[in-house]
Amino acid sequence: MRVLRGPNLWADFPVVEVCCDLSGHPPDQILESSISLYPRLSRWLPGLKRLRRLPRTDSPPRHERWLAQMFLETILELAAQVGERPTFAKLRHTSEAGVYLLAFQAHDDLPTANCVETALALVTAALGETHCDAQALLGALHVQTREAAPSPTCAALMTAARMRGIPVRRLSGEVLQLGYGVRQRRLLCTGQVALDPVTTHLTRNRDLLDTLLAATGLTCTETPVTDSHYRILVVGRRVLAALWWQPGADGSAATLTDVTSLIHEEIRLHALDVARTLGLEMAEVRVVAVDISRPLKSQGGQVSDIIASPPLDGYLDTVPSIADAVLEMLYRPGETGRIPLVAVSGTNGKTTVTRLIAHGLSVSGRFVGMTCTDGIYLADRRIDTDDCAGPQSARLVLLNPQVDAAVLETARGGILREGLGFDACSVAVVTNIGEGDHLGLGWIDTVSELAEVKQTVVRGVASWGTAVLNADDPLVARMARHCKGEVLFFARDDRHPLILRQRRAGRRVVFVRGQALILATGAQEWTLLHLGSIPLTRDGQIGFQVENALAGAAALWALDLPLETLATALETFGADLDKSPGRFNVLAINGATVVFDYGHNPSALLAMINALTVFPHRRRLAVYSAAGDRRDADLIRQGEILGHAFDQVILYEDHYIRGRLPGEIMSLFSQGLAAGERVSEIQTIHGWQHAVDAALWLAQPGDLLLIQADVIDETVEYVRRRLAASPYWESNPPHYPPLQTTPTDQTDWHTPDTRYLTTDN
């Protein structure tokens, strides 16, 4: 079970996803046990929805689906018993036999894990016809619900924030984060906590408090009063409510009486003066007086205490709109606490486009928070070096109070695990789908299913936002129908049908005509730059980088940045080791042209090889590998592509074999290479550094060498050292076990060849 807290594959709101595995249960056992399932469950849960009769067929999937559906209905009924029944629920059969995914809407006050566990206990007992104390389980679930639920004030504030379009996140207990980045506000919904140490000191030091109150014409009691008194709530320089508080007899609960309509104008002004004097936007002023409808001085009244950040639950019945008043104190009319937020997804080019957009926002003067495959960046500072293209990293950036613009690479894995790390974005960019990547993981087996996952960022575009989509990729272009905001297409061809259609409709597009990058709205055009002025594209010769430049320019334009800023951003962003490490970095080493790139799937490799056609070199070498969690077919396909494009290929394996046998990845690559028309020599090495050493030693002046930099940081640092030590390397060959030439009719990996088991030494 997992909670998808942001827009996700199922819906645009948080859902709970449950994986139900019935593969270990024989179909006849399921059929026999299920006959008595509903009668027993309905005795424990009378409100349980009755499904259609259990299928009387020999089709195991139908029996399994019925049982999975009954499990889901039990979860929903339990949720209804302890709170609110989810209005959204779905069930899907995965590509794995007997495995189903169940999903239902998540509620803030629902202990989802407990509901699922209780439903599992009930269904298991009903199937096995074993004893089950259903009432005890329901009682425990009620207790767990009360413990998990937010306070009434917290719930009211979250509801009011969502109604106003303010992003809200419950950080812990009763602490809320409203808004993102520099525009966020944090609230503690319960507890008597002062806003700062000075205020704490002022409210606890009676002498000092008395001195400050004297400036408003009031006096303070020597100690806080515990007998009957009035409590006046001030929020945002307004008196919202007044209560008459009476202690309960013999330890019983205190009595609160609403006297808001009786408060005298002078007392109201005094309460406002007290809050202002202590610098409080929200406070509870406690007053000792005989009658709140009379002036305070005329009856010798005094201030008993001032509570900063008071608990508000007691006022909710009196002032139902108290949550709105608190939000009005924090945000002016029309403000939502949002910052420019860009989400970038796709199969290839995500990191480059993310970096380019972040660079453009930085040029405009923004403090940019960026997450990508290479880590987390706050302005120019890198605070994490892991793969940070998921929702947890996104939430960390949005929690930082310095960030006034966020650019978030959004990978498929994070979407499947937790949904998006935000509720809505200003701009969503989808670069491409191509032949896909990571297929076969998480029951996403086809490029169409992968496109549905990536499409989540488009569904996450706010109504005022923009989806930037690649018109050249049909699966990406179809995502336009799911966008609630504007759609801005980009393409390398100014005559592309979608570009022409958008222009006829008066909408914005970005395209290339000749060698010029052009922005257009309807018939109006602006020539932004010549491709020769965009270093990323290498004079427009690198096709996939032209597409990345188009995507980045379109996203920055969608954020309404001035055209001068767009031009400056593109002119000052290059594919070098500093700006875009591991993304088509071209270096000259000892007379050879060396290209470093992170591409690790068939689409990326095809685009890379197409880009290499601009280089005139006769002999071409490649150092290549891929992670073991790719499908066999994808590894073989990449080997085939390599075999058609390179004369010599060095394959390597490293720490990321991910469940495969040693040598298995290289064996699958070799199967594809065997079909290659160009490759004449295949070599295998264990360890990326040994492979890079070997390739750099073998490369001759005039050669073209592609190095697939899967471990970017280490590879970039190694290359820097390699360049600095060039004279040493020219006279001292690297020391590693001799390379082994592998015949193209590679033996089956099930009988590992010892040539693959080279040790690091």
Q: What is the pLDDT of residues 629-663, one digit of tens each?
A: 788 888 899 899 999 989 999 988 877 777 788 88
Which of helix, strand or coil describes residue 254?
A: coil
β-sheet with 524-530: strand ranges across: 381-384, 375-378, 368-372, 405-409, 341-345, 425-430, 461-470, 486-491, 508-513, 516-521, 524-530
- Give dist(CA 541, CA 614) in Å, integer: 7
- Give dist(CA 732, CA 748) in Å, integer: 36
pLDDT of residue 760: 29
pLDDT tens per residue across span 77-113: 999 999 889 999 999 999 888 899 999 999 888 899 9
Neighbours of 761 (CB within 10 A): 8
Is 585-756 in the same CATH topology as 341-571?
no
**pLDDT above 60 for 735:** no
The contacts of residue 587 (CB under 8 Å, 6+ apart) are 593, 594, 595, 596, 719, 723
The closest of 473, 444, 449, 415 to 630, measured between CA atoms, is 444
Termini Cα distance of the chain: 44
DSSP 188: E
pLDDT tens per residue across span 542-598: 889 999 999 999 999 999 999 999 999 999 998 776 667 777 888 888 788 888 887
| Every domain of the chain and the residues it spans | 2-149, 197-310, 341-571, 585-756
**pLDDT above 70 for 498:** yes
pLDDT of residue 309: 77
pLDDT tens per residue across span 266-325: 999 999 999 998 888 889 999 999 999 999 988 989 999 998 878 888 888 888 888 998
Mean pLDDT of the chain: 86
DSSP 328: H
CB-based burial label for 735 (10 Å; 0-12, 13-18, 19+): exposed
> Is domain 341-571 given the CATH code 3.40.1190.10 in the classification?
yes
> Is domain 585-756 given the CATH code 2.30.30.100 in the classification?
no
Residue with tokens 């499409």: 455
pLDDT tens per residue across span 244-255: 999 988 778 888
pLDDT of residue 81: 92
pLDDT of residue 19: 95
Long-range contact list for 123-132, CB < 8 A, 24+ apart?
123/37, 123/41, 123/70, 123/71, 123/74, 125/40, 126/36, 126/37, 126/40, 126/41, 126/44, 127/33, 127/34, 127/37, 128/33, 129/36, 129/40, 132/44
pTM, two decimals, is 0.85
pLDDT of residue 191: 47
- Give dist(CA 603, CA 624) in Å, integer: 15
- Give dist(CA 106, CA 309) in Å, integer: 29
The pLDDT-based confidence of 455 (bands split at 50, 70, 90) is: very high
- 363, 565 contact by CB (below 8 A): yes
**pLDDT above 70 for 233:** yes
Tell me which H or E stretch contains 476. helix 474-477
pLDDT of residue 658: 75
The contacts of residue 4 (CB under 8 Å, 6+ apart) are 10, 14, 15, 16, 17, 106, 417, 418, 419
Greatest distance between any 2 Cα atoms in the chain: 104
Which residue would you say has higher pLDDT here, 554 or 761? 554
- Give dist(CA 49, CA 600) in Å, integer: 48
pLDDT of residue 99: 93
- 185, 337 contact by CB (below 8 A): yes
Which residue would you say has higher pLDDT here, 74 or 210? 74
The pLDDT-based confidence of 3 (bands split at 50, 70, 90) is: very high
The CATH number of 197-310 is 3.30.470.20
Mean pLDDT of 478-489: 97
